[in-house]
Chain A
Amino acid sequence: MRDVAIVGVGSTQFGRAQWSLLKMMCEASNDAIVDAGIGERKIDAVYVANMGASRNNRMAGLSSGLVDRMNLYPHTVSETIENGPASGASAIKHGVHSVASGYCDLVLVCGGERMQEVNNFEATEFVSYLSHRYAEYPYGVTLPSLAGMFTRLYMERYGVEARHLAMVAIKNHLNGAKNKKAHLRIPITMEGILTGPDALNNNPWIAEPLRFFDCCPVSDGSSAVLLAPAEMVKEFKKTPVLIAGMGQATDSQAVQDRPDPTELTAVRMAAERAFAMAKLTPKDIDVAELHDAFTILEIVESEECGFFKKGEGHKALERGETQIGGKLPINPSGGLKSRGHPVGNTGVSQIVELVLQLRGEAGDYQVPKQPKHGFAVNFGGFGNNVVATVLKRGV
């Protein structure tokens, strides 16, 4: 098996796109191609990550559309991967397999989602299709409602308070404000969202104890990475980033079927597998992008991945360890909370952000001290399908 490196990255701005889904994806893909400087070299395969185009955009077989728009036919292998909100990392995993096995040399992985096609109610409904068809969905379960129940239990058991959730939102909004591609570039304050006289109006309940600013926005956006065998990286112009490890795990679809609903077993297993493949430990990681679709998830994932002990993620947050200048910066890009969450694309965008960090190209939100190892968790469903990735600067 060959080692696989990321040789180019690209991304659109996140938010509410004025362009079509395919046009966004072309922009991100072209940016990745230009970033790598592939010259006359042909792209052997295109993997597209998307969750909702069939329903929301009335488009299926997106990879064929992208290949067509980019004039990559007829030689290019292409496929669309749908794995819920973990589609992005899953598509990268397929790309890695193709390159590692020798099936392909140069692989483009592009994530894209355009959610504004539907209103927020429909978007919430569409995302709730991730819940169990018979045990959850018919009873009105939505992802925010599952997250609300999960948060309540976690707060009771581990002493997490509303202010800790707010601290995650404040940190990630502050980071996102420095990221010119973030959806929500609005710094927020504890007084404004939790303790001030108008906080309840600014930050109303969504699914108690979760409030408005505890939930990620509904975003459009596209990101792309270009993969190549490590032995070929000298042919490209940018500092390569090695995909050192990838792990995936699947938990019960219905949260009620888990022995302990506060455990995110699939996150833990996916992280363990990724670290084992990379021959690294959580202590080696310099920067992480975690799947903070809800603020509680950043705290819990930081524990399940082994960065902090169970029940102590919020204490590390309080100590400032997860800030950009902290011991382990988490979501310096703003995370899903502020950068945005175009669901099927998010896993790709997390990797793009880590590559920028490892290359030292993240600009105003660059983590100091030249990070060498990055880590991402892409979380599908309510933790029922999780992909973790470890990246390493250089090959």
Chain B
Amino acid sequence: MSPPVYDWDADEYLTSEEERMIDELEAMLRPPALPMAPYPPKSVLLASGETMVVRQALVEEVDLMLKVIQPLSWVTRDFYDIVSARLFAELLGWKTHRVRDEYCLVGVIDGVLAGIVNGRLFDEKHGVSFHTLTLKRGLRVGSHLFASKMEHHIEYLGQDEVWIVAESPIGHRRWMIEYPLEKKFEVQHELGGAPAWVLTRDTYFKAKSRLVTGTRPVSDELLAKSYPLREPDLRVMLTQIEHTLEARV
């Protein structure tokens, strides 16, 4: 059975009266926001020789990201399904101002979306890591983006701690073990039941030379190439992610 298709253009059908009513309600529904320092873009030279620009995503780019993410919600391999479904909801929440103090970073190669990471501020000193979704696998794109997320929390948002859970064994190996993170099971992470781990400033700076990379500033020319964001070829992306045993001699 085909998955239902997200209705991208629902806003087109609102009347002006409806819009006015929504504006009034909207003020009550939107959470207050903490000031957030911007994430300065950087470039990472990947093993393939391609340059990935890591930059903040624009709210206007959410629709494109949702379109890319949606088909992955049915990919069970490496828990792409749960990560994609939850990331879909988080980005939709960001776009519709239903999640407080959320941010999103993207990895972009030649204008094409290669990966997405997001999180939010719990308060001024504590951050919550949400998800890391790699769309181009095999080049440590996810690893670079997760490191950028930690860099954002600690160095640019000036936080003391980031609370993290992993929803896949890959995530557990890459974050909990590779950094390594400390257990903080007494914290109830917003993603639910999984035990929370924490990245402290101390852990971050110890791991930084090993795991956090990239070059700043990004030239105007290179940065311009990362706009407008383009979706990857869906067939290529799904094949690479699923890596099924379909080919025959």
Q: Give bound CA distance, A43 to B181, whole Å.
A: 55
For B210, B212, B213, the residue with the greatest tally of chain A CB atoms inside 10 Å of its CB is: B213
- A15 CB to closest chain B CB (Å) equals 5
Binds A, one of B20-28, B39-47, B84-92, B96-104: B39-47
Judged by a CB distance under 8 angstroms, whether B5 is at the interface is no
Are B77 and A188 in contact, with the CB atoms below 8 A?
no
Binds A, one of B110-118, B120-128, B136-144, B153-161: B136-144
Are B245 and A13 in contact, with the CB atoms below 8 A?
yes
Judged by a CB distance under 8 angstroms, whether A54 is at the interface is no
* Number of residue pairs spanning A and B whose beta carbons lie under 8 angstroms apart: 89
Interface size for chain B: under 10, 10 to 19, 20 to 34, or 35 or more residues? 20 to 34
Are A193 and B245 in contact, with the CB atoms below 8 A?
no
Are B45 and A27 in contact, with the CB atoms below 8 A?
no
Closest to B143 in A: A201
Judged by a CB distance under 8 angstroms, whether B48 is at the interface is yes
- Cβ contacts under 8 Å, B143 to chain A: 201
B226-249: which residues lie under 8 A (CB-CB) from chain A? 242-249
- Cβ contacts under 8 Å, B213 to chain A: 197-198, 200-201
Are B47 and A202 in contact, with the CB atoms below 8 A?
yes
Q: Give bound CA distance, A43 to B100, whole Å.
A: 67
Q: Give bound CA distance, A9 to B249, whole Å.
A: 8
Closest to B244 in A: A18
Q: Give bound CA distance, A186 to B139, whole Å.
A: 8
Are A192 and B47 in contact, with the CB atoms below 8 A?
yes
Contacts A9-B249, A119-B169; A189 near B49 (Cβ below 8 A): yes
How many A residues, CB 8 Å from partner? 38
- B99 CB to closest chain A CB (Å) equals 30
Are A201 and B211 in contact, with the CB atoms below 8 A?
yes
Q: Give bound CA distance, A383 to B153, whole Å.
A: 48
Are A184 and B138 in contact, with the CB atoms below 8 A?
yes
Provide 21 A-B residue pairs closer than 8 Å at the C-beta atoms, listed in order of the A residue. Answer: A9-B249, A12-B245, A17-B245, A18-B242, A18-B245, A119-B173, A186-B48, A187-B49, A188-B47, A189-B48, A191-B45, A192-B50, A197-B213, A198-B214, A199-B47, A200-B210, A200-B213, A201-B210, A201-B212, A202-B47, A204-B210
- Residues of chain A at the chain B interface (Cβ within 8 Å): 9-13, 15-19, 24, 27, 31, 35, 119-120, 180-181, 184, 186-189, 191-193, 196-204, 213, 352, 356
Closest 5 CB pairs of A and B: A189-B49, A201-B213, A192-B47, A202-B47, A196-B45
